[in-house]
Amino acid sequence: MIIPPGAPWPAVDEYYEDVFGAFDPVLEKVLKSARDAGLPNIAVSPLQGKFLKMLVEMSGAKRVLEIGTLAGYSAIWMARGLPEGGELVTLEIEESYAALARENIKAAGLKNVEVITGAALETMKNLPGAFDFIFIDADKLSNSMYLAQALKLSKAGTWIFADNVVRDGAILDPNSKNEGAVGIRHFNEMIAMEPRLEATAIQTVGAKGYDGFSLIRVKS
Ligand code: SAH
Ligand code: DHB
Ligand code: MG
């Protein structure tokens, strides 16, 4: 995502990471492992990871599902918000990313996190429901299909959280060729048409540029 020249966003993220202590040696090693292995630099930011952990805590979720693991960065943050006996399942299509994530999760000392390899639309079919909290953060073009599957794995009260719903504002253009924008607009239309869902969106700026999150509640 684009950061305009002179924008204080990255420095403000650094300031808040520093003053609120989002820095964590285990998680820094996860980011380094991803860089060293040549993975794309698209994990949530440290402050966003901490926000996810706190959302898991706030919701009281015991079973969390993540779609899109990468190196396990956001999975480790969320797993840290789980209560005793809680568990997190995370889905990743790339074998090598999943293998790295498993290593990172082990190094973080977490035993309640399972990384499942395969195309999420397939692997979701075999998952036992229901989940209390579902983080959608994989290929954006499939978001509406992830939502359809997520609803099958939900119960009344499940929270769904989606990353990358703004994309520098590209989602405003209904004729956009940007896969992210097309996928998110379709996802949003599906949310709007589903009476079981209540949703809001928050635009964000920071170290990752200009993007946003949606928070969706399964009401019934
Ligand atoms: N949640 C991670 C970032 C995920 S990046 C974090 O913040 O740390 C998106 C991930 O989704 C990539 O690792 C990509 O390989 C994965 N992905 C893409 N298409 C997928 C699919 N069809 N099924 C499962 N994972 C997929
Ligand atoms: C991309 C994917 C993400 O999940 C993200 O947070 C940022 C960028 C991407 O595919 O470009
Ligand atoms: Mg993302």
Tens digit of each residue's pLDDT (9 = 90 or more) over 119-168: 999 999 999 999 999 999 999 999 999 999 999 999 999 999 999 999 99
Calpha distance 21→178 (Å, rounded): 36
| Mean predicted lDDT score pLDDT of the chain | 97
Q: Is the pLDDT of residue 55 over 90?
A: yes
pLDDT at 220: 96
Q: Is the pLDDT of residue 22 over 90?
A: no
Kindly state if the Cβ of 31 falls inside 6 Å of ligand 1: no
Instruction: Report the predicted TM-score, pTM, of the whole model to 2 decimal places.
Output: 0.98
The alpha helices in the chain, defined as continuous H runs, are 9-20, 25-36, 46-59, 73-79, 95-107, 120-123, 143-152, 179-193
Average pLDDT over every residue of 59-79: 98
Residue 21 binned pLDDT confidence (cut-offs 50, 70, 90): confident
For ligand 1, mutation pick of 26, 28, 33, 42 (most atoms within 8 Å of CB): 42
Average pLDDT over every residue of 56-85: 98
Kindly state if the Cβ of 13 falls inside 6 Å of ligand 2: no
Kindly state if the Cβ of 28 falls inside 6 Å of ligand 1: no
Per-residue exposure over 86-123, b if at least 16 CB sit within 10 Å of its own CB, e if not: bbbbbbbbeeebbebbbebbeebebeebebbbeebbeb
pLDDT at 23: 77
Average pLDDT over every residue of 89-116: 98
